[in-house]
Structure 1
Amino acid sequence: MTATATPASSGTAEAKTRFNAALEEAKAGAAALKAEAANRATAYRSQAKGKSSDLVGEAKEYGADAKVKASEFAADAKVKANDLAYEGKAKASEAISSLSKIVSENAGTIDEKLGAKYGDYARSASRTLQETAEKLDAKSVDELGEDAREAVRKSPAAAVGIAALVGFMFARLFRGKRG
């Protein structure tokens, strides 16, 4: 028997040829898609890097602006605190001076009612209060702060006691005004 091509075998060969051609075309298409995907990925990557650089630049600008605004705010707060400290120092000095005047003005009455010895105590207290007011006026806020720190270092127990006493006095003062 000789091998002759039958219609069934020629159809199979043709199908195989077409299948192989389609397979080669699919491989070529996949390679083309792979190349296109790589190109697009490179393009997207460069766009992302550009946007990232832009965002980093913007973030740095915002950070620099925030630093400037924070330093301006801190400077303003420092000026306001300094102004309040000077105002408080002036009011404290004025209050001590006023108290000195009141004690001095009432020294005569104390002489009459309690005796000259107690009137002299009042005059001495008045002079001490006036000297304290003058010392307070003469010192800067920074010097007063350093003096206070030094006093706390030398006698912390006294500082705590004085702070407690002042706190108690303020509490009584404000509690009395509310009710």
Structure 2
Amino acid sequence: MDETTASAEPGSEAAKNHFTKAMEEAKAGAQALGKEAQARAEEYREKLNEAKEGWSSEAKAKSGEAKEMAFSFANEGKARTSQALTGLGKMIEDNAGLIDEKVGPKYGEYARGAARSIHDAAGRLDEKSLDELGEDAREFVRQSPALAVGLAAAAGFLLARVFRGK
């Protein structure tokens, strides 16, 4: 062995040891950073879950409030519809005598029959709950889907006309 080779070997060994030690420290540092990242990620997951639970309970509460309001509005609408039908029936009934005089008794009877039918419809509307009315509507759609679509289209057209006019 020559002197340069002999002297390079001990320095080379020291460099290898130093490099190995640095690599071990880097690995240990990376593992420590990984553990710290996992701990922080777990903290954020917990915070997110807490927030999610809060949002979920808040959404459930708002949903319950919305259902109560919708039920209240639906009941109010049902009562107003019944009142309007009763008023319409009374108006037709009150004018049946005039129809008798102007057009004839046959048409006056038609008007009285229509008034009775309207009064009956208003009474049935008052007697039924919203659930029963919903089931009646579903049954009507099952029995007469084409008529139901036609009525829905006509109602939509009328509502569009009413709201466009404002």
Q: Give me the whole-angstrom Cα distance separating, in 1, the residues matched to 2:155 and 2:37.
A: 63
Q: Give me the whole-angstrom Cα distance separating, in 1, the residues matched to 2:73 and 2:51.
A: 32
- Establish whether residue 98 from structure 1 lines up as the match of residue 87 from structure 2: yes
Deviates further, 48-57 or 142-151: 48-57
Whichever residue aligns with residue 87 of structure 1, its letter is E
- Establish whether residue 151 from structure 1 lines up as the match of residue 140 from structure 2: yes
What does residue 102 of structure 2 align with? 113
RMSD: 1.9
* 1:10-21 superposed matches below 5 A: 13=3, 15-21=4-10
Deviates further, 126-135 or 20-29: 20-29
| CA-CA distance at 1:116 after TM superposition | 2.2
Q: Give me the whole-angstrom Cα distance separating, in 1, the residues matched to 2:117 and 2:155.
A: 21
Q: Give me the whole-angstrom Cα distance separating, in 2, the residues matched to 1:30 and 1:169.
A: 85
* 1:54-73 superposed matches below 5 A: 54-73=43-62
Q: Give me the whole-angstrom Cα distance separating, in 1, the residues matched to 2:72 and 2:145.
A: 28
Q: Give me the whole-angstrom Cα distance separating, in 1, the residues matched to 2:118 and 2:59.
A: 43
What does residue 3 of structure 1 align with? none
Match of 2:75 among 86, 95, 99: 86
Provide structure 1 residue ranges, at least 5 long, that are not aligned to the other structure: 1-11
* 1:123-162 superposed matches below 5 A: 123-162=112-151
Residues 11-40 of structure 1, C-alpha deviations (whole Å, 9 max, x = no match): x72x54543332122122112212211221
Whichever residue aligns with residue 73 of structure 2, its letter is L
Deviates further, 163-172 or 53-62: 163-172
Residues 87-146 of structure 1, C-alpha deviations (whole Å, 9 max, x = no match): 211111111111011111111211221222222221221111111101101101111010
Equivalent residues, number: 165
What does residue 22 of structure 1 align with? 11
Moved over 3 A (4+): 15-18, 168-175
Inter-CA distance 36–140: structure 2 relative to 1 (3 Å threshold): same
Residues 60-87 of structure 1, C-alpha deviations (whole Å, 9 max, x = no match): 2122122212222222222222122112
Whichever residue aligns with residue 96 of structure 1, its letter is L
- TM-score, structure 2 as length reference: 0.88
Larger radius of gyration: 1
- TM-score, structure 1 as length reference: 0.82
- Establish whether residue 53 from structure 1 lines up as the match of residue 42 from structure 2: yes
